[in-house]
Structure 1
Amino acid sequence: MNIVDKSVLKKIYQFGKMSQRQLSNVCGFSLGKVNQSIQFLQKEGYIDDNWTLTNKSQDLIEAYKPKKAIILAAGLGMRMVPINTEVPKALLKVKNETLIERLILQLHEVGVTDITVVVGFMKEEFEFLIDEYHVHLVCNMDYARKNNLCSLAKSHSDLVNTYIVPCDIWCESNPFHACELYSWYMIKEERTDNSSVRLNKKYELVKTKSDEDSDTMIGISYISFEDAPQIARRIYAMADKREYEHSFWEDALYEKDKMVVAPYVFNGAYEVNTYEQLRDLDEDNETLNSHLMHIISDTLHCDLSEIVNIYPLKKGMTNRSFSFEVNSKRYIMRVPGEGTDKLINRRHEYDVYQVIKDEHICDPVIYMNPDNGYKITEYIEDAHACDASYFADVSDCMKKLKSFHDKKLVVHHTFEVFDELEKYESYWQGTPSIYRDYKETKKHIYELKAFVDTQPKEWGLSHIDSVPDNFLFSKDSLYLIDWEYAGMQDQHMDIAMFAIYSLYDRNDVETLIDLYFDGECDDMVRIKIYAYIAICGLLWSNWCEYKRNLGVEFGEYSLKQYRYAKEYYRIVKEELEERGMCLCTK
């Protein structure tokens, strides 16, 4: 029995006897194929002459009957900006019904009550589903750095006769059925640039080439007992490999360039993955009245409907940001990320922007809230960040940094690096460091403090977060952006910050210092910068440990920062010993 035969049998189960032409229309197959299928089903004893299903069909239907469902609801929903900062997208209301509750009720209608919901972001918001619908909640705390392949693996399901359902789909009618006779993946006959699959003439789902049109991937799928072992093995094997951390679970469905499951064309499904998709589907939705959208509207004196082309930007280490257009002009809005209120004094940041606003240093800021850190800036067209491996870029950045330092601007607060180091550690709330030798490393860093305290300083407003990503090249300007940590400090610390964020080795560090000082850096100043590299390495390592406890991981970056603390302590010690000097070890 092939897919056409099973599809025809399923439609007969749903609708009973009808004309072959009607059956052709509801199945989507030619009249000739439907006629052949009817003959086959009668010959093989699945239906009688009146198209009544036989016991053989009933046994088949029972074998393939849906048993359970897994709803994937762990992600941040970054494309849902700006709403994703206020509510998980699964709990968005569309036409007065939350997305996830509508999906659960549709599953219940076809007898599927064994439902697992994989949660992560705002996981506590889903707790009510346990009592209301008797679902099982599974937590994926890697939601911020891994894709939904990881979420599906966290379910530990065998996937036998299982629906896999993304949480951000709204279906006009129920897409699920009590009768499922094969594994399928749902698509919509709607051309899109955001898909990688198309339905071919053989009624197969194949990967598209760069010049081909794609059908819209909806993401709902059914996995039957026949295909479940193979697909489950692939999912769990891929989830164990780092190379698949950013993979969608659908990647496990492909064998070469073709999906191993059949297509299910369902044109009544709508993805609710962006603010604008929600607005198109339910223009009277009260959720559209996001307070962030009202800030934009009030600042730019425009209607909410004039805010268009909303896109999330790459998630930063501290904030989430998104771009948008009003009257054909693009802007960026920054929204502080998890735990940011403990890390950054927004009033201090606001004060810094007041000092630099007329200095032609940073990107144009048109709104900033000193209480919560929301910020709107003009979008710099055709801009790129500094490439830390391209030293022509780095040279320009060091000139910009030196020019800013030479202004000797003043604010009324200081970035006290050791106070911050201790503060970040206190946020671990008694949890020991993940590094076994942390106490010894910290002791060494305080030895470096005793050293740098005796050294001359270039005191003035310092950027502190002077990393390559914060140097923005445009056609005719170079901007130094994102002044969240800025304060009074030895400005040579900014050089160290650039080095450690760039993950520079020793040779690159020497090149960087020479670029800043035009090759004329005093030896003791150079050693002081080495000390800052070690000190700031432990500072940001502690910062990463705090963010890690919030479920935000930074991979190699966090490990490298801790290595800087240890390695550059040793370098400073050796450099001083060569000069007959030593570190204070009290």
Structure 2
Amino acid sequence: MRIEEFNILYAIHKLGISFSKELIAEKTGYGLSEIDGVIEVLKNKNWLDEDITDSGYAALDEYKVDNAIIMAAGFGLRSLPLSRYVPKGLYVVKGEVLIERQIRQLLEAGIKEIVVVVGYLKEQFKYLQDKYGVIIVENDDYYRYNNISSLYASKDYLKNSFICCSDNYFNVNIFEEYVYDSYYSCKYTKEYAEEYCVTKMEGDYIAEIHKGGSNAWYTIGEAYFSKSFSSIFLKYLESEYENSETKKMLWDDFHIRHIEELPLLLVKYDNTIVQEFDTVEDVAAFDPDFRKYQDRILESNANTAAKLPTIFVKYDDVERYNSAVTDQHSGRLHLNENTFGPSPKCMDVLKEIRVQDLYEYDMASKDFLVEEISKVFSIPEDDIYIHNGSAELIKSVFSITLERGDSILVSNPGWSYYASLAREKFCNVYYYDVLKDDYAYYMDVEDILKKAKQHQPKIIVITSPHNPTGCKIDGNVLEMIIKENPDSLVLLDEAYWGFSEENIDVRRLVETYTNIIISRTFSKYYGLANMRVGYGFCNSKVKHIFGLDLPLFRESTLSRRMAVAAMHEEIYYEDVTHKLNEIKTWFMDELNQLSGVRVFQSCSNFVAVKIENADMQKIREILKENGILIRLFEDKEEVIARITISEMEIMKRTVDIFKENL
């Protein structure tokens, strides 16, 4: 049967005995003369008389839809936490349960056999059997395989079949009782979309599909498999399903694998036909009342959620320290990264990678990174330890040193990570002052000594250069603090070591005192933040104690090789630091010329900026809108900006934004 014959015969079926050429034209889009010609052919074939004949229906029978298969087995990971309690197909959208709306539309179209493939929270779908007479098929593999497993579970029903997703919302009933050929419905996008986009056509059939595209038709909504299509699809599916790669596929990907043997017509939908919901936000954008529905579900399940074992109840009020999350890769002046980057020699390490570097543990008798640090800094190997980043190193020190009820002494303002770690151990946190004059911040040494005597802290944290102010502590002052607090561990956090001249005799301190531990990192000065290598120094007599909480195996061989390569490039890093300091001086001079602005002296790769009578939150948002990210911190009752020094182009743009908005 030709497509024109099918379309007109099916139009007559839908119109009934009262059909007319004009009504057929409305349904099919054909001209009256074309309709006359096709009707003549239908009559000659004895398929049409006053109405469709028995022979006509026999001819149509090949195209009659046998059933619809609705896939409803998935977890709905992107719709958490709601999908934890209700499967996506059972969401109530605009007053209707999503899957029920589809079922009713299918029944109205004359499709009586409806198969629902369930998996996650499968018991919630059981009522559909009694309410609508649907067939429930259980996909026991839903949690480990992709939706190709749902078609495999329902393979005995694949004939002339609609393939549907339970979480689609059809604004109009698109289902038909008879369908001429296999197809996939598509919508058009001008903007880039991470969807299955049609990239090549052969006539009206889809010839190529790729993930992601713009100015393209992309698959959405229902598909239709004819009996012949289903037969070929099943042949491939049954022969390939036991392959683990196949089981993890979406059915779309499996179709793409065999697209030459499995042609699908492209059926074009405008944006009003079907809605696809991936997230709760997608649903809420379509149905503003959906948020209320979500809140009701979450509230009603608040007491049924999995409860934590009582051993974890003590952590209910403990908040984890969180870093500033961003997907932005430029204008990142809020993380104090060395945006000038590491030495090119570090990249050369990747060229020398060996297979065994990936699968072998480094079990050598000596750590080559410890040996190199010992040579560079003239510190005995027994006084050196390595960790995967200085933050993790500091956490290990806290873990070994602190017990419930102990105290620590940290700076205010300062890095809140220290206090966060202490609270995880249920310890008290006390603060000493970091003060400022008109030009620079400085640590209040008298306050450190007074608070240490008053609170007897287990750990005194000194950050130098200090984050977030950029000031440093004098080596003699540091030694005085160590001497006067023999029962306190002094943690000297030198994460920003290298950006200014060294003024602490580290070797002498760790050789002389057992209550000092120093932490450093390759993240800042050496520009290897994502390699996660931290190191530090302490007296060999206590090193084995801190070693109890160090990682069992050494840090990544590649990361440590890059660290070694970086230490060999002294001239490169001196040049970078010189360039950074020149830009920092220029940036400070430019901002200090603005009324009410004070940029404080800094010994690091960032500066603290105070602006009189300004809404600092608003300034941060203006900078963010222009692609510049900065950090704010509280200093007593003032809000101060901390800005990382980057390439001149970025800093000039930052200055221009300040000038335009102050």
TM-score range (shorter-chain normalised) is 0.5 to 0.7
Q: Which position in structure 2 is the counterpart of 1:404?
A: 395
Q: Which position in structure 1 is the counterpart of 2:231?
A: 229
8 Å Cα contact 1:183-1:227 kept in structure 2: yes
Distance 1:100 1:226, change over 3 A: same
Superposed displacement of residue 32, structure 1 = 9.0
Q: Deviations over 1:388-441 (max 9, x none)?
A: 959999x8835553343234463549xxxxxxxxxxxxxxxxxxxxxxxxxxxx
Q: Which position in structure 1 is the counterpart of 2:216?
A: 214
Decide which of 316, 334, 348 is 2:315's aligned counterpart.
Answer: 348
Decide which of 268, 273, 280 is 1:275's aligned counterpart.
Answer: 280
8 Å Cα contact 1:107-1:113 kept in structure 2: yes
2:290 equivalent to 1:363? no
- Write out aligned runs for 1:1-400 (5 A): 1-15=1-15, 17-19=19-21, 23=24, 26-27=27-28, 40-48=41-49, 52-189=51-188, 193=193, 194-197=195-198, 200=201, 202-208=203-209, 213-254=215-256, 255-256=258-259, 259-267=262-270, 268-287=273-292, 289-290=294-295, 341=308, 345=312, 347-348=314-315, 351=318, 353=320, 357=321, 362-363=322-323, 378-379=325-326, 381-382=328-329, 397-398=388-389, 400=391
C-alpha distance in structure 2 between counterparts of 1:75 and 1:152, whole Å: 13
Superposed displacement of residue 491, structure 1 = 6.3
C-alpha distance in structure 1 between counterparts of 2:58 and 2:132, whole Å: 30
Q: Deviations over 1:195-246 (max 9, x none)?
A: 3226847222232467663324224223233332112222333432211233
Superposed displacement of residue 75, structure 1 = 0.7
Distance 1:258 1:204, change over 3 A: farther
Distance 1:227 1:195, change over 3 A: closer
Superposed displacement of residue 510, structure 1 = 9.2
Aligned residue type for 2:402 = V
Aligned residue type for 2:198 = V
Distance 1:346 1:141, change over 3 A: farther
Distance 1:249 1:33, change over 3 A: farther
Distance 1:510 1:85, change over 3 A: closer
SS in 2 for 1:142: coil
Aligned residue type for 2:228 = E
8 Å Cα contact 2:396-2:549 kept in structure 1: no
C-alpha distance in structure 2 between counterparts of 1:59 and 1:411, whole Å: 84
Q: Structure 1: which 5+ residue stretches go unaligned? A: 295-334, 365-377, 414-470, 481-488, 500-507, 519-586
Q: Which has the larger radius of gyration?
A: 2
Superposed displacement of residue 44, structure 1 = 4.0
Distance 1:291 1:96, change over 3 A: closer
Percent identity for Structure 1 against Structure 2: 23
8 Å Cα contact 1:70-1:115 kept in structure 2: yes
Q: Which position in structure 2 is the counterpart of 1:536?
A: none
C-alpha distance in structure 2 between counterparts of 1:343 and 1:30, whole Å: 76
C-alpha distance in structure 1 between counterparts of 2:556 and 2:276, whole Å: 51
C-alpha distance in structure 2 between counterparts of 1:396 and 1:493, whole Å: 10
- Write out aligned runs for 1:402-551 (5 A): 402-407=393-398, 408=400, 410=402, 412=404, 492=548, 495-496=551-552, 511=557
SS in 1 for 2:278: coil
Distance 1:282 1:36, change over 3 A: farther
Superposed displacement of residue 129, structure 1 = 1.9
Superposed displacement of residue 292, structure 1 = 11
C-alpha distance in structure 2 between counterparts of 1:271 and 1:130, whole Å: 25
Moved more, 101-110 or 164-173: 101-110
Superposed displacement of residue 363, structure 1 = 1.9
Distance 1:509 1:38, change over 3 A: farther
8 Å Cα contact 2:387-2:551 kept in structure 1: no
TM-score by length of 1: 0.52
Distance 1:279 1:44, change over 3 A: same
Moved more, 27-36 or 87-96: 27-36
Distance 1:32 1:228, change over 3 A: farther
Aligned residue type for 2:283 = L
C-alpha distance in structure 1 between counterparts of 2:252 and 2:128, whole Å: 26
8 Å Cα contact 2:77-2:83 kept in structure 1: yes
C-alpha distance in structure 2 between counterparts of 1:114 and 1:67, whole Å: 7
Superposed displacement of residue 63, structure 1 = 3.6
SS in 2 for 1:196: strand
Q: Deviations over 1:87-124 (max 9, x none)?
A: 21100111211011111222222343333221122222
Superposed displacement of residue 59, structure 1 = 0.7
SS in 2 for 1:175: coil
C-alpha distance in structure 2 between counterparts of 1:276 and 1:196, whole Å: 23
8 Å Cα contact 1:158-1:228 kept in structure 2: no
TM-score by length of 2: 0.47
C-alpha distance in structure 1 between counterparts of 2:255 and 2:47, whole Å: 30
Aligned residue type for 1:12 = I
Q: Deviations over 1:339-381 (max 9, x none)?
A: 784699364375473xxx4xxxx525xxxxxxxxxxxxx4464
C-alpha distance in structure 1 between counterparts of 2:200 and 2:130, whole Å: 41
SS in 2 for 1:495: coil
8 Å Cα contact 1:71-1:167 kept in structure 2: yes
Distance 1:67 1:220, change over 3 A: same
C-alpha distance in structure 2 between counterparts of 1:30 and 1:218, whole Å: 31
SS in 1 for 2:217: strand
C-alpha distance in structure 1 between counterparts of 2:546 and 2:126, whole Å: 49
8 Å Cα contact 1:123-1:139 kept in structure 2: yes
SS in 2 for 1:345: helix
Distance 1:275 1:97, change over 3 A: same
SS in 2 for 1:234: helix
C-alpha distance in structure 1 between counterparts of 2:358 and 2:40, whole Å: 68
* RMSD of aligned residue pairs (Cα, Å): 4.8
Distance 1:250 1:477, change over 3 A: closer
Superposed displacement of residue 66, structure 1 = 2.4
Superposed displacement of residue 149, structure 1 = 0.5
Q: Deviations over 1:136-163 (max 9, x none)?
A: 3222233233211111101242412222
8 Å Cα contact 2:66-2:113 kept in structure 1: yes
Q: Deviations over 1:149-199 (max 9, x none)?
A: 111101242412222211011112222222334333323455572232268
8 Å Cα contact 2:387-2:393 kept in structure 1: no
SS in 2 for 1:263: strand
Superposed displacement of residue 493, structure 1 = 6.0
C-alpha distance in structure 2 between counterparts of 1:246 and 1:61, whole Å: 37
Distance 1:256 1:262, change over 3 A: closer
Distance 1:191 1:42, change over 3 A: farther
Superposed displacement of residue 38, structure 1 = 5.2
C-alpha distance in structure 2 between counterparts of 1:34 and 1:490, whole Å: 89
Distance 1:44 1:88, change over 3 A: same
